[in-house]
Amino acid sequence: MLLPLFVFGCEASRRRRLAVKPQASRDCGNSPITPLGPLDLASDVNAPVLGLYGGADPGIPVPQIQEMQAKLKSAHMPCEIVIYPDTPHAFNADYRPSYREGPAKDGWKRMLAWFKSHGLEAQPVA
C-alpha cells in the first residue's frame, strides 16, 4: 500500500515528515542541503498528495502551487490541492496570529478524510 503524502505548506527542514513547500525549488534548490526542491521532484512522487495552502501566503505563491498541481497531474499522481483565499501561512497554528478558524477546521477535516480514504484512520490516544 502506498502511503499518502500530506502537504500542509510547512517546510520539510523544520518538520521531519513528508511535507513539501513548493517554492523550495526556487529558494532551496541547488544548495548542498537541498539540491532539488519539490517542483523539481514532482514527477517522481509515488504517493497521493493533499495540499492545503493559504492563498495570501507570500512564501508560497499561488502560481507555484498551481505549477506543483499541474506537474503532479501530468505525472498521473492523484492529488487534491486546496487554496484558501485571503488566508496566510500557518493558518492552522492556533497559537499564532495567522490562525484562521474556518480554513483550519476545514483543512483538518479534509486531512482526516484524506488519510481515511487512503487506509489510514486516526486512532484515539490512550
Q: What is the pLDDT of residue 29?
A: 56
Task: Determine the average pLDDT of the residues in 38-50.
Answer: 86
Tell me: pLDDT of 62 over 70.
yes
The answer as to whether 15 is a domain residue is: no
The answer as to whether 55 is a domain residue is: yes
The answer as to whether 27 is a domain residue is: no
The answer as to whether 71 is a domain residue is: yes
The answer as to whether 34 is a domain residue is: no
User: What is the number of domains present in the chain?
Assistant: 1
Contact 51, 81 (CB under 8 A): yes
Contact 34, 76 (CB under 8 A): no
The pTM assigned to this predicted structure is 0.73
The answer as to whether 108 is a domain residue is: yes
Tell me: pLDDT of 124 over 80.
no
Q: What is the pLDDT of residue 100?
A: 96
Residues 6+ apart with CB under 8 A from 46: 2, 77
From 25-29, 30-34, 58-62, the region with the lowest mean pLDDT: 25-29
CA 9 to chain centre: 4
Q: Which structural domain, as residue segments, surrounds residue 82? A: 44-119
Distance (Å, whole) CA 3 – CA 115: 9
